[in-house]
Amino acid sequence: MNFWTKKKVVVTGGAGFLGSFAVEKLKERGCTSIFVPRSKDYDLTDNGACKRLYTDFQPDMVIHLAARVGGIGANLKSPGKFFYDNLIMGVQMIEQGRVHGLEKFVAVGTICSYPKYTPVPFKENDIWNGYPEESNAPYGMAKKMFIVQAQAYHQQYESNIINILPTNLYGPRDNFDLESSHVIPALIRKCLEAKLRNERSITVWGTGEATREFLYVEDAAEGILLAAEKYNKPDPVNLGSGLEISIRDLVDLVVKHTGFKGKIVWDPSKPDGQPRRSVDTSRAQSEFGFEARMPFEEGIKNTIQWYRQHANLKLLQNHEKGPSAQTKR
C-alpha cells in the first residue's frame, strides 16, 4: 500500500474500459495523485501535447493504456489508423518520459503482437518468431515496437520501461458498439437484441474453430498494478487466465446465459483471425505473483448483467415485463 501513497501517476486511457478499473484499484491502494488525460485536452498523437502532459503533471509513473482498439472488422477497415495512432502515442509518451526523467513507464501491449502460428501456449520468447495474423497485424506490430523501445532505452539510458501483454479482455464496461467491439460484447449484444426482436437466428463471423483466451478486466487491472509495483525488466510479460476456449464454445456459453433460443449461422466467408490464442503465464506468476481469479462463466454472467443494466436496454427491460410492453416499441 505504501508504494503508491506519494506517487504521482498518469493513467492514459484511464476513462476507458480497462483504465477505469486500473484507476479504481490505484485509489484502493492509497494513490491520491492520479491524472487521467482526456483526448480533447491532450491528443497523444501530437508530440507537443505529450510534452505538455509531462510538464503539467510531472508524474513519477505513467501507466499507458490509451489505444485505438477494436475487433477484426474495425482492424480490417482502418489498418493504417490502428498502426499509426497506437505506434505514435506509445513512442512519444515513452520518449517524453525519458526526457522528463520519469521513474517508470508501464506499457500495455497486446497478444496480437505474437506471430500467427506461435506454439501454444504463447511464451514471451517466441514473440519475434514470425509475423502476426494479417487481420490485426498493423495493430499488433505497432504495440510490438514498445518492446524494442523499452529494451533499447534500458540499454542506452537505463530507463525503467515494462511491457505487459494481456490476452483478450472482457467484462463490465466493455465496448458494445457492433462496429468496433470485440467478440464477447458483440455476441452478448447480438443475442439480447435478437431475443428482444424475436429473431430466429444471429450470424457469427468465421467457422467457430478458432480459439481464444480471455482475461476478466478486473484481473487484468490487478496484474498491471502488480507489475507496476514489482517488475522492473524490459522483457515482456504475458497476462492471462489459463483457459483456452473455441469461439464455437464461447457462443454456446453466451447463448446459454442470454437466453437466446434461435439458430447460430456461421459465416465462413469472414475471417477467423489467429487460429489459436493462449498464453504461458508462468513469468507473471514468478516475477510478480499474478494469477487470474475470476472463473470464466461467472465473468460472462457478470458482463451480461452489466450490459442489461447499463447500456440503453430500457427496450429489453420493457420487453421482459411482458408482451404488452413489447407492442409499444
Burial of 88 (0-12, 13-18, 19+ CB in 10 A): middle
How far is Cα 236 from Cα 257, in angstroms, rounded to an integer? 35
pLDDT tens for residues 188-246? 999 999 999 999 999 999 999 999 999 999 999 999 999 999 999 999 999 999 999 99
Measured CA to CA, the distance from residue 185 to residue 178 in angstroms comes to 8
Q: Which residues are CB-contacts of 323 (< 8 A; sequence separation ≥ 6)?
A: none
Taking 60 as the threshold, does the pLDDT of residue 275 lie above it? yes
* 2-176+213-243+276-295 is classed CATH 3.30.70.260: no
Whether the per-residue pLDDT at 112 is higher than 80: the answer is: yes
Higher per-residue pLDDT: 160 or 178: 160
CB 275 within 8 A of CB 130: no
Please report the pLDDT score of residue 312 as a whole number: 64
**β-sheet bridge partners, residue 105:** 62, 161
pTM score? 0.92
pLDDT at 327 over 70: no
pLDDT in tens, 175-200: 999 888 899 999 999 999 999 999 99
Matching residue, cell 487481420: 135
Please say if 170 is a catalytic residue.
no
**Model pLDDT for residues 33-72, shown as the tens digit of each residue:** 999 999 999 999 999 999 999 999 999 999 999 999 988 8
Question: CA geometry: angle at 91 spanning 89 and 97, to 5°?
Answer: 100
Which is catalytic among the residues 42, 54, 114, 139?
Answer: 139
Considering the chain, what is the average pLDDT of its residues?
A: 93
The mean pLDDT value for 123-147 works out to: 97
Query: What are the φ/ψ torsions at residue 89 (nearest 5 degrees)?
Result: -60, -50
- What average pLDDT score do residues 257-283 get? 96
pLDDT confidence bin for 310, thresholds 50/70/90: confident
Domain-wise residue ranges, the chain? 2-176+213-243+276-295
pLDDT above 90: percentage of residues in the chain: 90
